[in-house]
Structures are given as C-alpha cells and as structure tokens.
Structure 1
Amino acid sequence: MMKKLTLGTLAFGLFLAGACQNTNGKNEEAEKLAKEAIEIHDEIMPQISTFNKHDILIDSLLENLSILKTADVDLDTTETREKFHALKANLESATDKMMVWMKEYAMDSTDVNYQKAEVERISELKTEFEQVKYEAESLLAPFKK
C-alpha cells in the first residue's frame, strides 16, 4: 500500500510539474503577444499629438473659409467644409479609440487568446491611424504654410 501511495504521489507530482511547465509556456506566449501589442501602441501613439495639431488647424481653417475663398476664388467652400468636418471626426475617432484601448487593455493578462485578440485590435487601430494620417496630409497640405 505504501508503494502505491508513493507512486500515486509521484505521478500526481509529475502531472503538476507538467501543468506548471505548460502554464509557463502559455505565460511566455502571452507575454510575447503583450509585448507586440505595446510595440504597436508605441509606434502609433505619438501620432496623437500630430492629430491634435491637425484638429486645431482644421478649426482655424473652418473659421477662415471666407478668407480662403478670397485667396482662391475656385475654392468650393461647402465641399471643403464637409471634408474638414469629416477629417476632424476621423481624427477624433482614431484618438478616442486609442484612449479606450489603453484604458481597457490588460497588459498583464496571461490569457493567450485575449492577447491575440488585443494584438489584432491594436493592429486594426494602426491601420486606421495610417489611413487618417494619409487623409490629413492629403487634405491639409495645401493649407499648411
């Protein structure tokens, strides 16, 4: 009986050791994914200050559309106003989504599926940031001095 208990205890101990190693492997994968998510965040986060500057420029341009029209008689102020408002909304939306992501993201989560989903979520946000950045540069370039 003593031998069975010892073998049973040994088998249980090996099972636990294996489970711990498996958990450590998952923790490593989750940590790797968390690092990837943060790297993507760190890459796009500095754009927010540029987006804020664009927002201020758009406000100024919207206030001075009549002056812009005087300088460029072919300027369609209605179309330009709509484009500025749409760009302003896109800039604010991207910035807001980043703030929500940062608030909700649990970097220390060891759930691999959660971390995979968050890498995908921040990657999609990076794509949105790139699109909005391009849109801003294209629309605002003629108005920057």
Structure 2
Amino acid sequence: MKKLAFLITSAFAITSCANNSSSQNDLVKSQEETMKIHDEIMPQVSVFDKSAVTIDSILTNLNAIKASKPTLDTALTRQELTLLKKDLEDATDHMMDWMKEYSTDSTTVDYAHRELTRVKEMKAVFDRVSKEQQQILSKY
C-alpha cells in the first residue's frame, strides 16, 4: 500500500513538473514573440514622427504646391493629410502607452498571451498606417 501511495505521489509530481515546464516554455515563447514584434514596430515610430513633420510642412506650403499643381483639390488634400497625421500620431502614442504598461516581470502565461495579442493588433495598425503613409505622401 505504501508503494502504491508513493507511485501515485511520484506520478503527480512528475506530471506537475512537466506542466510547469510546458507553461514556462509557453511563457518564454510568448514573451519572445512579443518582443520580436515590438522590435519590428519600434523603428517605424521615428519614421511616423518624421512623416508628421513632413505633413505639417506640406500643409503650411499648400498654396505654393497648388501653384505648381493647379488641379490639386486643397480642401481634400488638407483633410487627407490631417487624417493621416492623426493616424500616425495615434499609432505612435499607442506604442508609447503599451511600452509604459508592459511588464517584463510578469510570470503569468495569461498576461503573456494578452500582451502578445495586443502587440499583434498594434502591428496590424502600424502596417495599415505605414501603407497609407506611403500611398499619400508619395504624391508630394
């Protein structure tokens, strides 16, 4: 009877260690993927900041641009550029907020999964805004 109790206890201990190891691997994998995506997005922040300055310059010089491009719809251009600048700034602000809130000390798998989901969503926004930026600013 003592041997059976020992075997059952040992089996639970081994299963528990295996589960902890699996959870730990999942945690590390999620954290690494989160940082990898962050590292892909981060360089775009400076590009977005420069683009916002470029937009300000275009908006300031819109009359001169209109003189060289008489068919330019300045009202539509102003609206399009203003919206793009807002999107660029919102994406950048979202990244900065996420970085302030992100806890590298967390050891819970659920937290790691949530943050991975958040950073993937942020990457999708950055990709969309980057594409918009390239399409719109290539006209100028």
Answer yes or no: is the 8 Å Cα contact 1:26–1:110 preserved in 2. no
Unaligned runs of 5+ in 2: none
Please list, as runs of the form range in 1=range in 2, the aligned pairs for 1:1-145 lying within 5 A after superposition. Answer: 15-16=12-13, 18-143=15-140
* Aligned equivalents of 1:32, 1:121: Cα separation in 2: 15
* Aligned equivalents of 2:128, 2:14: Cα separation in 1: 48
Deviation at 1:110, TM superposition (A): 2.3
The TM-score, its normalising length taken from structure 1, stands at: 0.85
Aligned residues, how many? 140
Using the aligned pairs only, state the percent identity: 41
- Please report the RMSD computed on the Cα atoms of aligned residues, expressed in angstroms: 2.0
* Aligned equivalents of 1:61, 1:128: Cα separation in 2: 24
The TM-score, its normalising length taken from structure 2, stands at: 0.88
* Aligned equivalents of 2:10, 2:103: Cα separation in 1: 32
Unaligned runs of 5+ in 1: none
